[in-house]
Amino acid sequence: MKTIVVEDERLPRLSLLAKLENYRQELDIVDTCDSYDSARESILRHRPDLLFLDIQLQGRDAIQLLEELRQTISLPYVIFTTAYSDREYLLSAIKLQAVDYLLKPIGREDLALALAKARTRFLESAPRPEAPGKLVFKAVNCTLFVATDEIAAFRAEGNYATLLTFGGEDLILESLLSLERRLDPACFVRVDRSTIVNLHTVYRLHPQERDCCLQSADGRTLHVKLSKTGMENLLRATEN
């Protein structure tokens, strides 16, 4: 797992890094950061799988950092670290689906348990074996095998997603974040918080109406309404 450690105090940062030496076979620590701004820049540049994140960064709020980042990228798995047992922060961490919430000084046993949780989530989100030319999705009572060019888009439905194809739609038991992690980014682009679009099917865009018309190889069309941000991001993606 590509990992970034964010801790604004030198000694706790060095202590955590020393403990993480025991996990070098499964963690690739690509950077360490000591401030809000350096963490934001590093996370956007490296796109880590796992983030150790101090709740308070020189007086600035790490929850706010994650809320800011999630407007642009899919959040990594997060293990919060803090010197205080603050209920408000704990609830915020739960809302952001944090892997764990560790109190400093971090014990080796607590660290091992948190990393085991992160490892489980990481492996569960790994790409699944696919049928030739098809993608596999778990639905409520069945497994779907869908050709890539039949997929128009995905729409968020809480912790699940709706698969939009040119033949209909199905609720699948996978979050938009999980889908974004495993789908080919050259084909599928998350344009906003609630929508992933198959770039290869984009046929016509109406920015003022925020209407995206998608078309299959045999001429079937499907219209998807996007947010303002979604339309702007899709326009940029189709220009690249």
CATH 2.40.50.1020 fits 134-239, yes or no: yes
Domain boundaries, the chain: 2-124, 134-239
Q: pLDDT digits over 200-234, tens only?
A: 999 999 999 999 999 999 999 999 999 999 999 99
Helix, strand, coil shares of the chain, percent, nearest 5, are 35, 35, 30
pLDDT at 131 over 60: no
Q: Give the DSSP H or E segment for 228.
A: helix 228-239
The pLDDT score that the predictor gives to residue 31 is: 96
The pLDDT score that the predictor gives to residue 181 is: 85
* Whether the domain at 2-124 and the domain at 134-239 fall into the same CATH topology: no
DSSP bridge partners of 221: 215
Percentage of residues in the chain having pLDDT higher than 90: 60
pLDDT at 141 over 80: no
Mean pLDDT to the nearest integer, 46-71: 88
Q: State in Å, rounded, how far the first CA of the chain is from the last one.
A: 29
Percentage of residues in the chain having pLDDT higher than 70: 91
CA distance 160 to 172: 6
Pick left, alpha or beta for residue 29 (phi over 0 → left; psi -120 to 50 → alpha; otherwise beta). beta
pLDDT at 239 over 60: yes
Burial letters for 185-200: b for 16+ Cβ neighbours within 10 Å, e otherwise?
eeebbbbbeebbbbbe
Fold of 2-124: Rossmann fold (3.40.50)
Q: pLDDT digits over 59-105, tens only?
A: 788 888 998 888 878 889 999 998 776 666 666 666 666 888 888 88
Supply 6's token pair.
């964010």
Global confidence as pTM: 0.55
Provide long-range contacts, Cβ within 8 A and 24+ apart, for 145-149: 148/187, 148/198, 148/200, 149/198, 149/200, 149/201, 149/216, 149/217
